[in-house]
Chains A and B, each alone.
Chain A
Amino acid sequence: MPTLLVAEHDNKALKDATHKAITAAKGLGGEIHVLVAGSSCRPVAEAAAKLDGVAKVLLAEAAAYEHMLAEPMAALIVSLAGPYDAIVAPATTAGKNYLPRVAALLDVMQVSDIVKVVAPDTFERLIYAGNAVQVVRSRDAKKVLTVRTAAFQAAGEGGSAAIETVAAPADPAISSFVGEELSKSDRPELTSAKVIISGGRAMQSRENFAKYIEPVADRLGAAVGASRAAVDAGYAPNDWQVGQTGKVVAPQLYIAVGISGAIQHLAGMKDSKVIVAINKDEEAPIFQVADYGLVADLFQALPEFEQELGKLGR
């Protein structure tokens, strides 16, 4: 009953999403084989081999996999799918792109974005932006699953799996990579950060994100996020968006500043361990999910917050 799990990485390092997806895959009960597909990415395979619960690592190296384009990725995964009962990927933008393609080629109805493995064929997933939980049983012989990584703990190290090189099937050659613009930041990534501070429309400008949010983020070693309203208003880049249609996060500490708490946003952060809300409007729905609420003007509260953190030596 082995499971094939597709690793998330950037050809240099294994991403934390993989560690979390492994925890979900453990719930399926079968031996876990991790597929590392990329270009010159053996160090990633070596990192995957060390993870607890991994029985084998399959390494597929070809230029076509460097940017994880869906067409060659799906061709590769389908070529390896035969012996596996389940094929699993983290629900990152990469996994969401290639895995439904795999599912259709295998004539399987994928179960997207699972938050719990109830049994090897039964899963919990969220629908309606997290406003309802559906428990579904898959009748397909093979299970194809994407994992909402925020819902699972990261697997630790402790394994020493063998690395096996696998042959790359021909690239369908119907798509090619042109370029990418990745935001450069010394801050942690949103989806793996332990602390996140997010701003909403009340920030009023991109400059205010830099002036008020970022100094606090620096003190906390936090990632910076934003509500959809702030992104739509142009105050923050697209990839900062936390919410059902943006990133789903579950840090130790989530600080929502000037965010009213639309359902869409709550769906993306309500699994955080501790939630702090700072908002001028004491009726804002965000206070209903916050562990600690402060009714205050953010332009006064944030500089004060930064100073208090400074006193703690942060």
Chain B
Amino acid sequence: MKVLVPVKRVVDKDIKIRVKADSSGVELANVKMSMNPFDEIAVEEAIRLKEAGKATEIIAVSIGPQQAAETIRTALAMGADRGILVKSEAGVEPLAVAKILKAIVEAEQPGLVILGKQAIDDDSNQTGQMLAALLGWPQGTFASKVAIDGSDIVVTREIDGGLQTVRLKGPAIVTTDLRLNEPRYASLPNIMKAKKKPIDEKTPDAYGVDIKPRLEVLKTVEPPTRKSGVKVASVAELVGKLKSEAGVL
């Protein structure tokens, strides 16, 4: 079974982003970029399936600018076998990403697509579900455990209030939650080896997908800030203020 893993190049999770002064977006120039953390978990899960003999080949796909090839290279260094870069300088919304991925799935025929549950830049949490819909496949979102059982995929999902387990008829879509696994670091020999692994370059046009945005971003602004309050000296003072001043006790 082939496994397809889409990976997104995003601002590194440890960078504090800045909103541009003219409200036109978030400053991305000279900012450290990395693979979306949820996608690292997806790559790791695919590698573990391969190591367990359940997957035969792992294809990492990224849709983005030329530099997204570096993100694919990271996946290859972790253990993916080959890459596909769909080049677009303009941002691509989840719906259009799902349409491009659908075309890739139809060409590559994977038995499983593992995606991060959301990208930490736009926080949309849509692409996996949309891809499942377009393919008519079942979806196991927010996964904390994935097991292959014959042609079925059994997914334990993090839901409000606890965990839910579902059985999906493969082929299927899985999206990863934080605690599915702990992604590995690529070793130096594997980073060297990854340089020789192939990356195919494509364009959205090649897949016949219109990437014109459906959402118009009118502006991007700073969130309202909360002003810091007062320090209290003791628990008794705290309780007193909560009761008489804040009125919440």
Say whether A47 faces chain B, with CB atoms less than 8 Å apart.
no
Q: Is the CB of A293 within 8 A of B230?
A: yes
Contact pick for B242, options A71, A98, A133, A276, CB 8 Å: A276
Contact pick for A137, options B138, B215, B232, B243, CB 8 Å: B215
What 1/0 mask marks residues of chain A from 300 to 314 whose CB sits below 8 Å from any chain B CB? 010011001100101
Measured between beta carbons, the chain A residues less than 8 angstroms from B45 are none
A96 to B139, CA, bound (A): 12
Q: Is the CB of A135 within 8 A of B165?
A: no
Query: Which residue of B has the minimal Cβ distance to A135?
Result: B218
Interface residues of B (CB under 8 A from A): 11, 16-17, 19, 26, 93-95, 98, 118, 120-134, 136-139, 141-142, 144, 154, 157-169, 177-179, 213-223, 226, 228-232, 234-236, 238-239, 241-243, 246, 248-249
Contact pick for A291, options B137, B164, B229, CB 8 Å: B229
Q: A131-B19, A182-B161 are in contact. List 19 more A-B contacts (CB 8 A).
A: A70-B132, A101-B130, A104-B131, A105-B133, A110-B94, A110-B124, A132-B17, A133-B222, A135-B217, A135-B218, A138-B214, A172-B136, A172-B138, A175-B138, A178-B166, A178-B167, A238-B158, A287-B231, A294-B235
Q: Is the CB of B121 within 8 A of A128?
A: yes
Dominant secondary structure at the A interface: mixed
Q: Is the CB of A180 within 8 A of B162?
A: yes
A101 to B128, CA, bound (A): 9
Contact pick for A97, options B139, B161, B228, CB 8 Å: B139
Measured between beta carbons, the chain B residues less than 8 angstroms from A131 are 16-17, 19, 223
Q: What's the count of A-B pairs with C-beta under 8 Å?
A: 250
Q: Is the CB of B166 within 8 A of A122?
A: no
A-B pairs with beta carbons under 8 Å apart, 5 shown: A70-B132, A130-B223, A137-B215, A245-B118, A308-B236
Measured between beta carbons, the chain A residues less than 8 angstroms from B222 are 132-133
Contact pick for A180, options B163, B228, B230, B231, CB 8 Å: B163
Measured between beta carbons, the chain B residues less than 8 angstroms from A165 are none
A84 to B122, CA, bound (A): 27
A220 to B248, CA, bound (A): 10
Q: Is the CB of A287 within 8 A of B16?
A: no
What 1/0 mask marks residues of chain A from 94 to 138 whose CB sits below 8 Å from any chain B CB? 101111111111011111110000000010001111111111111
Say whether A265 faces chain B, with CB atoms less than 8 Å apart.
no
A128 to B236, CA, bound (A): 38
Number of residues in A with C-beta < 8 Å to the partner? 90
A295 to B237, CA, bound (A): 12
Contact pick for A175, options B120, B168, B214, CB 8 Å: B168
Interface residues of A (CB under 8 A from B): 67, 69-71, 74, 92-94, 96-105, 107-113, 122, 126-140, 172, 174-183, 189, 191, 195, 220, 228, 231-232, 238-239, 244-245, 247, 252-253, 263, 270, 273-276, 282, 287-296, 301, 304-305, 308-309, 312, 314
A122 to B216, CA, bound (A): 9
A253 to B248, CA, bound (A): 7
Q: Is the CB of A100 within 8 A of B93?
A: no
Q: Is the CB of A109 within 8 A of B214?
A: yes
